[in-house]
Chains A and B, each alone.
Chain A
Amino acid sequence: MLDILRDNWLLFLVGQYPNGPLGGLTMTLLVAVSGLLLAFPCALLIALGRISPYRTFRLPATLVVHVFRGTPFLMVIFWSYFALPLLVGDAIPGFATLVGALVLYESAYLAEVIRAGIEALPKGQYEAARSLGLNYPRTMAYVILPQALFNSLPSVLTQFVSLIKETSLGYVISVNEFTFAAAQVNNLLLTKPVQVFSILAMTFFAVCFSLTQTARMIERRIVRRRSGAAPGARPPVPPIAVESAP
């Protein structure tokens, strides 16, 4: 397995680059990061729509969330791949199709993460801001979102992990991401599929596991901060001592 890695590490890492298109793990991370960066603002808007007091915003946002959470990602990819060129009237590169599909799909999930973060805040925060005379947008911008987004950071990271894994579905529309590179290596060697795909699996695991661990670390830090932040927080009451029988 090590010699496979030694002979093909460049292909795994960057695909045919610089002699051909960029690919491999770098491509996977590039797709994932651009997917997250583009999905985040969309998710924020959808989340704000979901909690909006106005039906005009609430209904479409709710519809988007339910539609995408109720469809398999592979189907979203196919739709983007086959339907979008018909709409645009021109071929769309695989990279853009995959990122677009990811943004559509992940926005719905991230929106629910952000909404949970907003709804987990004590109602008093909203009331206090409104009582000061801040209008709804200012209350959101200065009081609610800074806290809610910070608190939902671990869940956003977790969502990012599943986003990384979803990029491997780009394989079906021939985006030369990490899984695609592994398949190429496999085609070169022909006889060692288990080893090649073990490398793929272990690398995915290493990347995703380290991100999950980061998320957990951040989460612990937030919990610690929050428990210190609770007004009038007292040390836990020691249990009533039960005399042990002699």
Chain B
Amino acid sequence: MIRFENVDKWYGTIQCLTGITARVNRGEVVVVCGPSGSGKTTLIRTINGLEPIQGGRILVDGTDIHARGVDINRLRSRIGFVFQSFNLFPHMTVLDNITLAPLKIGNRGRTDAEDTARSLLARVGLSEKADVYPSQLSGGQSQRVAIARALAMSPPVILFDEPTSALDPEMVGEVLQVMKGLAHSGMTMMCVTHEMGFAREVADRIWFMDNGVILEDAPPGEFFTNPRHPRAQRFLSDLRH
């Protein structure tokens, strides 16, 4: 589904991704973790071209998304993306936030798009918020709407960039619940998060990153009980304290 082939990324003279080679298979849930500054967010943002790369290739469903002449907008509509800071459009109602892409680029009729949006809202447990503006939502509700919006074009894969990091602790659970539901429905997911409980429970594999390199790529059972790399061992022991 997603394949990284020897990906390099530089910010000026600082290399922040080095020789990333990895793959996410269809229906898999991959959790990316690691200390801050390790390149997790950069990595996930390269997948839909929010960040350019300087070397290697990234294939999504077989298409090299950084190649010249690629219809990046079409590709992006096939990749859901959920931000740390929600980024809902404050001048639109919740329903309009969700129907924007289907109406403007999906060539869907209004009633059709709104039906889909309402069923997505029901899925994230916010049916009654359809006509409300984002300013009237809590953080947790905003992020659930953002997830519904990311799903509006029915993408086969959805990316999460620290989806719970901007939330008050009591709201983390409701968002993780929605994400677990998605994972169990067989969605291909890649998620940068510090929620190790979530990783342990739903991830098929965990990537541990440090200094722009994927140091470990292992199933959660193996990663949490028996990490091979000393940096990962230290990260996990720091988490426990």
Complex contact B134–A231 (CB within 8 A): yes
Select one of A129, A134, A231 contacting B85, CB under 8 A. A231
In the complex, whether A229 has a CB less than 8 A from a CB of chain B is yes
- Bound complex: CA A232 to CA B169 (Å): 12
CA distance A127 to B166 in the complex (A): 17
Cβ-defined contact, A229 with B100, below 8 A: no
Least CB distance from A132 to B in Å reads: 4
User: A125, B87: Cβ atoms under 8 Å?
Assistant: yes
Write the nearest CB–CB distance from A234 to chain B, whole angstroms.
9
Q: Name the distance in Å between B84's Cβ and chain A's nearest Cβ.
A: 9
Chain A residues within 8 Å of B101, by CB: 132-134
What is the number of residues of chain A that contact chain B, defined by CB distance less than 8 Å? 24
**B73–chain A nearest beta-carbon distance, Å:** 5
Q: Which of A131, A138, A143 contacts B89 (CB 8 A)?
A: A143
Size class of B's contact patch? 35 or more
- Residue B135 CB within 8 A of the other chain: yes
Q: Decide: A142 and B104 in contact? CB cutoff 8 A.
A: yes
Known: A132-B100, A134-B101, A138-B104. A147 touches B90 (CB 8 A): yes
Which single residue of chain B is at the shortest CB-CB distance from A141? B104
Q: Are B77 and A132 in contact, CB atoms less than 8 angstroms apart?
A: yes
Question: Provided the pairs A142-B104, A232-B166 are in contact, do residues A127 and B87 lie with their beta carbons within 8 angstroms?
Answer: yes
Which residue, A124, A138, A228, A232, has most C-beta atoms of chain B within 10 A? A232
Any chain A CB within 8 A of the CB of B144? no
Complex: how many Å from CA A135 to CA B105?
9
A221 at the interface (CB under 8 A from B): no
Min Cβ gap B170→A in Å is 12
Give complex CA distance A228, B136 in Å. Answer: 8
Binary CB contact string for chain A from 111 to 126 against chain B (1 if under 8 A, 0 otherwise): 0000000000010110
Which residues of A in the span 205-235 have a Cβ within 8 Å of any Cβ on B? 225, 228-232
Would you call A231 and B86 a contact (CB within 8 A)? yes
A residues engaging B (CB < 8 A)? 122, 124-125, 127-135, 138, 142-143, 146-147, 150, 225, 228-232
Task: List the 8 closest pairs (A to B, CB-CB), nearest first.
Answer: A133-B77, A128-B87, A229-B135, A124-B87, A131-B81, A132-B101, A133-B76, A232-B139
Q: List 11 A-B contacts (CB under 8 A).
A: A127-B50, A128-B88, A133-B73, A133-B78, A134-B73, A143-B89, A143-B100, A146-B91, A147-B90, A231-B88, A232-B142
Besides the known contacts A131-B81, A133-B76, 10 further A-B residue pairs in the complex with CB atoms under 8 A apart: A127-B87, A128-B89, A132-B101, A134-B100, A138-B105, A142-B104, A228-B135, A230-B135, A231-B85, A232-B167
